[in-house]
Amino acid sequence: EEDRGKRLARALAWVRADPTDNGYARPLDGVVAVVDLNKMEVLRVEDYGIVPLPPEPGNWTRNHITQTRNDQKPLEIVQDEGPSFSVDGHEIRWQKWRFRIGFTPREGLVLYTVGYEDQGQLRSILHRASLSDMVVPYGDPGEASFRKNAFDIGEYGMGQLANSLTLGCDCLGHIHYFDAHMTDSRGGLSTIQNAVCLHEEDDGILWKHTDWRTEEVEVRRSRRLVVSFIATVGNYEYGFYWKFYQDASLELEIKLTGVVNTTTIKPGEKPHFGTEVAPQLNAPYHQHIFNARLDMCVDGENNSVYEVNTKGLLRDDRNPHGNAFVAEHTLLETEKQAQRLCNTSSSRYWKIVNPSVRNRMNEPVGYRLIPGENCVPFAHDDAAVIQRAGFLKRHLWVTPYQLDEKYAAGDYPNQRAGSDGLPQWIAANRSIADTDIVAWYTFGHTHIPRPEDWPVMPVHKIGFMLRPDGFFDSNPAMDLPPSASRESCCHPGEA
């Protein structure tokens, strides 16, 4: 009760054996300093009893790892003629794609006016796309963990935490970098050099077919354009990659890495709410849940959203053999109707269409929103994290565009007790059919740590895709040329 109305932080501590030691290997459990951030005073030190420090170091820097593999040959990415993209200020053109980028202290990388050229016409897909928020709820009820529900975008600002990227390490090939200019928390100018990386990547086969009757073979390799940035949020790293493909697909991939948060366990104990990743060192169960704000503009502003579920039919005259299934399209007409969850049992996806623009089959042009890995929160509805981040409860939300509705958890989630953002906005149950809409997609990863995640976690990838669905008359990548390499099987003129 004595803390009510104060702006407080609970300072957790770890122990370093030397200045370069990985402190996360030795959590100082049982001791919490409560700090008044307005007065910058320690109000109290809470002591929950002595727990011995874990015995082993967890160092990961090159000065500590002296023995490395010696069987890895160089892999060079070479583009002697330069890249296929062009940059004019913040406008990027690559093959048939055209878009602009921005960068904010809160969201980091933002895409604007994303379009694709088709038969000489630039057709719009997105007006604006960004990450609107993310939350990391912990599943350990212990004193050091149950308050860990960091809003890494809304509280800390993902853009402010962006890395300065390094050629040959963070990105490979012919790279174009963008600096990020922003204001810091005190209103001063802050510049992060090389905050955004732009480059091309080979992506394997895009399409192929072999006609075994005529022995004709055609294959086209896929190339993608990647715009990315990486942020360090305390112990974790997040890499954010917007990937543009030659078949007009667009993917957001997030790479999770860094050092897991840790607590101490007593000798001989096993953790109930985490994994022992090293002797007496516990990595609590937790989740990383993101929300992407997609201001859609599929061939114009007035769009609608359909949910598509595949279902098997009962045996009847339409299904005499028991093998038939159909794809059911359901129009989501209001905000409350559009609160949806993923469903792998029905192969669920969502289709954003423009009812006013028809393809040659007289169907509305559209793009699919295709889920990747996802999860649901395990916290109770009355838990603090759900009260503060109500957007976690649904994977899809759809709202009519409003200038002041930018962040899924509201403008000011920092230490707010109640809910704001999407759950409040959709209470009005506004119409979302054939209008200027924003799709909000919530996606995440439930991290049950492994010993192999220590001392630094190998990358884990999550994300989603936007793929054309009736947007084009046929495969838009049929005009790709065969590979130009003379060593390739399909080089023009070669047997």
Is residue 367 annotated as part of the catalytic site, yes or no?
no
Q: Is 152 a catalytic residue?
A: yes
Task: List the structure tokens of 122.
Answer: 């630039």
Sign of the dihedral through C-alpha 88, 92, 97, 101:
negative
Concatenating the DSSP letter of every residue in 55-100 gives SS----STTT-----S---------TT--SEEEETTEEEETTEEEE
> Which residue in 24, 116, 138, 236 is the catalytic one?
236
Tell the burial category of 68 from Cβ atoms under 10 Å away from its Cβ (0-12, 13-18, 19+).
Answer: exposed
In eight-state DSSP terms, residue 392 is: G
Q: Is 173 helix (H, G, I), strand (E, B) or coil?
A: coil
Residue whose tokens read 């420090």: 53
Strand 281-284 and strand 286-296: pairing? unpaired
Per annotation, catalytic residue among 133, 152, 295, 299: 152
What lies within 8 Å, CB to CB, of 203 at 6+ separation is: 221, 222, 223, 224, 245
Structure tokens at 53: 């420090």
Instruction: List the beta bridge partners of residue 461.
Output: 255
CB half-sphere exposure, 200, CA atoms < 13 A: 19
Cα three-residue angle 107-150-384, rounded to 5 degrees: 120
H helices of 430-488, in order, are none
Which is nearest to 228 in space by CA: 257, 204, 193, 197?
197
Catalytic residues: 152, 236
